[in-house]
C-alpha cells in the first residue's frame, strides 16, 4: 500500500511517497518556483540517482501533474500507475477555528478552506489548488487535510484571544492560531519518548527555526501557547518576516512614506526579518558568512534573532508554571545551525538551560536525535529532526481506515520506544562514518529493545 503526501506552498510543491507495508519512504521531491519563471522538479527515489528537470509551472495544478508524471515515469519513477496509491495527505496552512484534527476532504471542507483563505492568502489558495488537482488524478481515494493550525486548538482562551474588541473574535474569527503544527506534534511526541514519559506528563519548549520560525509551549503534552498569531507574521524574527513589532508602526509608515496597505504587507512579510536588517541576507548561512568577515549589520541581525528567541523561552518557562523537561530545537536552522543554538542558549544557565558547546558543535544531522546539554543541566536540550511528512502519512492512513482521532486519543508509530526510521537509520550510519564522535551525543531511548 502506498500513501502520497503533498505540501503545496506559495511557490513550491513538496511530495513524498511512503510504502506503508514496508514502512519506508520510496521517493520524495519538490517542484520549485511554481508561478514563477525557471521552474524545476528535483526527484529522489530510493536506489536511484537524483533526478532534476526544468519545467515551467505557472500554477499548482501543473506542478501536481508534473509530480504524477515523474512518479510513474518508466526510468525515474517508483510506481507503475497511480492505482497503487490508496490515500493522499495534503498539508493545509489554515483551517481557521473550524478544525481540531485532520479530516477527509469533502466539498464542505473545501468550502471552509475557501472561506478562511484570507487568513492564509499566500498558502491556502495553493493548498486548495493542490487538493483539486490531485482529486482529478485520484478521484476514488480519500484525500486528507492535515491542518497546520489543528495542533494549537488546545490553547486556553487566555492564550489565543487578543486584547482587541471582542466582537472581532466573534464576527471575524480574529485570534491566535499558530502554525508548524505537524512539526510540533512530531517533536512533542518524540520528546516524550526520549524522556521516558507519557505525553500527558511532558512539558517542553520547542523552537521550530527555519526560514519561517515559531515556538511552542507544550504543557502536559498539549499546546499551551505559540508565537505565531492569526497569520505566520507574528512572533520570532524570520528570514523575511519581522515577527513582533508595534502595530502602530504600520500606520506611522503609511503616513510618513505614503505606503499602501499592500506595501506594508509586503514589507513586513517579504522585506523584513534578517533580510530587512542586513539589507542582503535572508538565509542564516549567508548571515554567518557575513559575520565572519565583520559585517556589523549581519552581527546585529544575529543578535536580534537570538535575543527574541531567548525572550520567548523565558516567557514560556513562566507560562508553564514549572521547570520544563527540555528545550527542543528543530527544522532546518534548529537542526543544523550550531551558532544560532549557542546564541539562543547563552545566558540561560540561571534558568537551568546549560549548553555543552562541544556537543552542540557535533549536532549536525537530519538522521538522529541528539542531546546537546551538559550532563548536569536541569533542563535537557535536544535537537530533534522533524518529520512532518510522517505525521501526514499516518493521519491519512488512519483516516482511510477509520481509526483516526485527535492526537490526545491517538497513538502514532513514532511514539514507540522501538520506532526506527529506516531511511534515517541508513543515513546515520554514513554520518557516523564521516564523524564518529556524533555517536557520543545520540539520545538514549528509555525502554528501547536491544
The pLDDT, as a whole number, for residue 95 is: 82
The residues pairing with 32 across neighbouring beta strands, listed in sequence order, are: 12, 40
Residue 244 falls in the annotated catalytic set: no
pLDDT digits (tens, 9 = 90+) for 36-56: 888 899 999 988 989 999 999
Question: In this structure, are residues 127 and 92 in contact, taking their beta carbons and an 8 Å threshold?
Answer: yes
Residues 23, 382: Cα–Cα separation, whole Å: 25
Where would I find the H helices in 337-447? 338-345, 357-362, 388-401, 422-434
- Rounded CA gap, 182 and 449, in Å? 27
pTM over 0.85: yes
pLDDT at site 396:
95
β-strand partners of 146 = 91
Cell of 157: 482562551
Which H or E run includes 151? none
Q: How distant is the alpha carbon of residue 188 from its chain centre?
A: 12
Crossing angle of helices 284-292/296-320, nearest 10°? 130
The per-residue pLDDT for range 109-128, each reduced to its tens digit, is 999 888 888 777 777 888 88
The partner residues of 42 in beta bridges, in order of sequence, read 30, 52
Give the residue among 99, 210, 187 at the shortest CA–CA distance from 415.
Answer: 187
List per-residue pLDDT tens for the chain, 450 residues long: 899 999 887 778 899 999 999 999 999 999 988 888 888 999 999 889 899 999 999 988 899 899 999 999 999 999 988 889 999 999 998 888 888 899 999 999 999 888 888 777 777 888 888 899 889 888 999 999 998 899 999 999 999 999 999 999 999 889 999 999 999 999 999 999 999 999 999 999 999 999 889 999 999 999 999 999 999 999 999 999 999 999 999 999 999 999 999 999 999 999 999 999 999 999 899 999 999 999 999 999 999 999 999 999 999 999 999 999 999 999 999 999 999 999 999 999 999 999 999 999 999 999 999 999 999 999 999 999 999 999 999 999 999 999 999 999 999 999 999 999 988 999 999 999 999 999 999 999 998 865
Predicted local confidence at residue 97, as pLDDT: 81
Q: How many angstroms separate the CA atoms of 221 and 234, rounded? A: 23
Domains and CATH numbers, the chain: 2-147 (3.30.420.40), 198-383 (3.30.420.40)
175-198 tens-digit pLDDT: 999 999 999 999 999 999 999 999
Q: Smallest Cα–Cα separation from 253: which of 262, 264, 268?
A: 264
The pLDDT of residue 450 is 52
Residue 99 confidence (pLDDT): 84
Residue with grid cell 555517536, as numbered in its chain:
439
Active-site annotation holder among 148, 225, 295, 356: 148
Amino acid at each position: 500500500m502506498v500513501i502520497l503526501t503533498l505540501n503545496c506552498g506559495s511557490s513550491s510543491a513538496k511530495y513524498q511517497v511512503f510504502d506503508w507495508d514496508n514502512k519506508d519512504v520510496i521517493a520524495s521531491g519538490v517542484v520549485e518556483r511554481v508561478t514563477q519563471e525557471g521552474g524545476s522538479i528535483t526527484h529522489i527515489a530510493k536506489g536511484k540517482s537524483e533526478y532534476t528537470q526544468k519545467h515551467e509551472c505557472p500554477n499548482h495544478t501543473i506542478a501536481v501533474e508534473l509530480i504524477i508524471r515523474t512518479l510513474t515515469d518508466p526510468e525515474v519513477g517508483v510506481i507503475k500507475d497511480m492505482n497503487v496509491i490508496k490515500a493522499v495527505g495534503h498539508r493545509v496552512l489554515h483551517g481557521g477555528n473550524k478544525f481540531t484534527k485532520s479530516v477527509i476532504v469533502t466539498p464542505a471542507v473545501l468550502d471552509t478552506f475557501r472561506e478562511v483563505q484570507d487568513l492564509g492568502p499566500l498558502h491556502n489558495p495553493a493548498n486548495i489548488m493542490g487538493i483539486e488537482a490531485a482529486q482529478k488524478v485520484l478521484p476514488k481515494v480519500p484525500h486528507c487535510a492535515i491542518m497546520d493550525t489543528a495542533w494549537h486548538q488546545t490553547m486556553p482562551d487566555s492564550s489565543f484571544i487578543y486584547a482587541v474588541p471582542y466582537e472581532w473574535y466573534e464576527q471575524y474569527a480574529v485570534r491566535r492560531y499558530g502554525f508548524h503544527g505537524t512539526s510540533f506534534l512530531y517533536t512533542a511526541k518524540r520528546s516524550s519518548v526520549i524522556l521516558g514519559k507519557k505525553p500527558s506528563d511532558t512539558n517542553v519548549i520547542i523552537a521550530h527555526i527555519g526560514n519561517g520560525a515559531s515556538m511552542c509551549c507544550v504543557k502536559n503534552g498539549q499546546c499551551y501557547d505559540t508565537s505565531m498569531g492569526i497569520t505566520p507574521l507574528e512572533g520570532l524574527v524570520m528570514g523575511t518576516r519581522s515577527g513582533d513589532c508595534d502595530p502602530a508602526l504600520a500606520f506611522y509608515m503609511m503616513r510618513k512614506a505614503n505606503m499602501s496597505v499592500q506595501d506594508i504587507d509586503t514589507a513586513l512579510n517579504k522585506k523584513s526579518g534578517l533580510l530587512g536588517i542586513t539589507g542582503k541576507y535572508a538565509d542564516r548561512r549567508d548571515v554567518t558568512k557575513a559575520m565572519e568577515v565583520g559585517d556589523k549589520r549581519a552581527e546585529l541581525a544575529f543578535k536580534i534573532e537570538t535575543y527574541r528567541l531567548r525572550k520567548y523561552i523565558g516567557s514560556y518557562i513562566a507560562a508553564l508554571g514549572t521547570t520544563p523537561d527540555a528545550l527542543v530545537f528543530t527544522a532546518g536552522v534548529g537542526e543544523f545551525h550550531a551558532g544560532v543554538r549557542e546564541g539562543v542558549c547563552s545566558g540561560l544557565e540561571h534558568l537551568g538551560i546549560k549548553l555543552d558547546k562541544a556537543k552542540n558543535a557535533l549536532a549536525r544531522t537530519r538522521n538522529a536525535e541528539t542531546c546537546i546539554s551538559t550532563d548536569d543541566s536541569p533542563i535537557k536540550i535536544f535537537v530533534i529532526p522533524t518529520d512532518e511528512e510522517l505525521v501526514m502519512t499516518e493521519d491519512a492512513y488512519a483516516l482511510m481506515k477509520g481509526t483516526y482521532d485527535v492526537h490526545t486519543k491517538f497513538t502514532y508509530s513514532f511514539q514507540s520506544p522501538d520506532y526506527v526510521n529506516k531511511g534515517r537509520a541508513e543515513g546515520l550510519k554514513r554520518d557516523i562514518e564521516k564523524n564518529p564522535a556524533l555517536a557520543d551525543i545520540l539520545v538514549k531511548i528509555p525502554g528501547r529493545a536491544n
